[in-house]
């Protein structure tokens, strides 16, 4: 088995948990065989003394399946 890790940012105006869910959902549109997500950083944007958006920096791990690439060639 071969694994690859990518780093992506998810954002939400609701919560950090939702930001992570957004990151995974967006990655799932183009990445297959995801196995885990590691939240490595959480930040928030503040306006007028209130949090207005949440950002989660995530590393997503997925399996590489070389045989699938050969089928599309």
pLDDT in tens, 14-54: 999 999 999 999 999 999 999 999 999 999 999 999 999 99
Can you read off the two tokens belonging to residue 15?
């919560």
Question: What are the beta bridge partners of residue 60?
Answer: 6, 37
C-alpha pair distances (Å), 38 with each of 10, 41, 51:
12, 9, 23
Is the domain defined by 2-65 classed in CATH 3.30.1660.10? yes
CA–CA gap between residue 16 and residue 18 (Å, rounded): 5
**Domain edges within the chain:** 2-65
Can you read off the two tokens belonging to residue 38?
């590691």
pLDDT at 70 over 80: no
Q: Look up the pTM and report it.
A: 0.82
């Amino acid at each position: 088995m071969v694994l690859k890790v990518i780093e992506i940012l998810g954002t939400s105006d609701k919560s950090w948990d939702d930001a992570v869910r957004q990151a995974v959902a967006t990655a799932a549109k183009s990445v297959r065989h995801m196995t885990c997500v590691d939240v490595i950083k959480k930040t928030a944007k503040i306006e007028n003394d209130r949090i207005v958006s949440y950002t989660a920096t995530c590393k997503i791990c997925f399996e590489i399946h070389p045989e699938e690439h050969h089928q599309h060639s």
